[in-house]
Structure 1
Amino acid sequence: MAIHFFEEDIRSEIQQKRNLKNWIKKVAAGKSFRIGNINYIFCTDEYLLEINKAYLNHDTLTDIITFDQSERFGEIDADIYISAERIRENADILGKTYQEELRRVLIHGILHLCGHRDKSPAEKKSMREEEDKALNLFDSADVPRGTLKK
């Protein structure tokens, strides 16, 4: 049972890995899910675009694609592809730091795996609220502090 971070032709610049893993587990547990094995794969826009075309028939850039590999309800097993380039650009557009936007995208994938959707305007609003709640957990004292850089 583990959360892994991989890089495919790009540096993720991920920080506080231990804190992130604890936080992800805490958010999942709050939704009555347990973490099995999660692989976060950081990649380029081009790499993720090819995945988007091949598996989802979408010819658009995106920041995240989540593949649910779970075999048992309540346990999360997944491969989550994230464009580090999209994270950087979206952070600049939104006036956030790279790390802030990275956390939002990391947890966005987890929330999808816990059953949250974001297709309709109401679902998008609900997803954003759930992301904000989760982000507040990371910022709270409940997640052990410390910096574990790559």
Structure 2
Amino acid sequence: MSEIYFFKEDCQIDLRKLKKQKAWLEELAFQYNHQIKELNYVFCSDDYLHKINLEYLNHDTYTDIITFDMKEENDNALASDIFISVDRVRENAKNLKIEMVEELNRVMAHGLLHLLGFKDKTESEKKEMRLAENKALTLL
């Protein structure tokens, strides 16, 4: 049984509006032949995520998401803490002229896709990731 949890730290977001995303994320993992053991999505502010970025990754930048893969070595089930800056998501949605919830869903899928093996360092990886994100959004 998948365990998907939503938490918030120092930000304004109504977690009750994310109920359908749990089944969607589980289906997304299933589409790639994986199951979810435990995913913890933590929604937070830019400042909160920036501190995590500095402390754990030594990156002095703002970002919309950080995914920590916590899967045990011999366990195929996905486990992770995924931190998402609501501030970044809101700003990105505004810049892209889309609804905040659409961008939030994209970023949530992005974190899960990293756990499924997708990368986004090179241009070709970014293109593949974007295609996978778009495919994920059609499942929702």
TM-score bracket for the superposition, by shorter chain length:
over 0.9
Q: 1:15-73: per-residue Cα shift (whole Å, max 9, x none)?
A: 54231001000000111110111110011101100100111111000000000111144
In structure 2, how many angstroms separate the alpha carbons of the residues matched to 1:50 and 1:44?
Answer: 10
Q: Shift of residue 13 of structure 1?
A: 3.3
In structure 2, how many angstroms separate the alpha carbons of the residues matched to 1:133 and 1:110?
Answer: 13
Per the alignment, residue 68 of structure 1 pairs with 69
Listed as ranges, the gaps of 5+ residues in structure 2 are none
Tell me which protein shows more helix as a share of its residues. Answer: 2
Q: 1:61-118: per-residue Cα shift (whole Å, max 9, x none)?
A: 0000000111144311100000000010000000110100000000000000000000
User: Compared with structure 1, are the counterparts of its residues 93 and 13 closer, same or farther at alpha carbon in structure 2 (3 Å cutoff)?
Assistant: farther
User: Compared with structure 1, are the counterparts of its residues 123 and 73 closer, same or farther at alpha carbon in structure 2 (3 Å cutoff)?
Assistant: farther
Percentage identity across aligned positions?
47
Counterpart code for 2:45: T
Per the alignment, residue 32 of structure 1 pairs with 33
User: Compared with structure 1, are the counterparts of its residues 73 and 124 closer, same or farther at alpha carbon in structure 2 (3 Å cutoff)?
Assistant: farther
Query: Do 2:7 and 2:15's aligned partners in 1 also have CA atoms closer than 8 Å?
Result: no
Per the alignment, residue 143 of structure 1 pairs with none
Higher RCO structure, 1 or 2 (CA under 8 Å, sep 6+):
1
Equivalent residue pairs, number: 138
Return structure 1 stretches of 4+ with deviation > 4 angstroms: none
Query: Do 2:4 and 2:38's aligned partners in 1 also have CA atoms closer than 8 Å?
Result: yes
Structure 1 residue 122 corresponds to structure 2 residue 124: yes
Backbone CA RMSD of aligned residues: 1.1
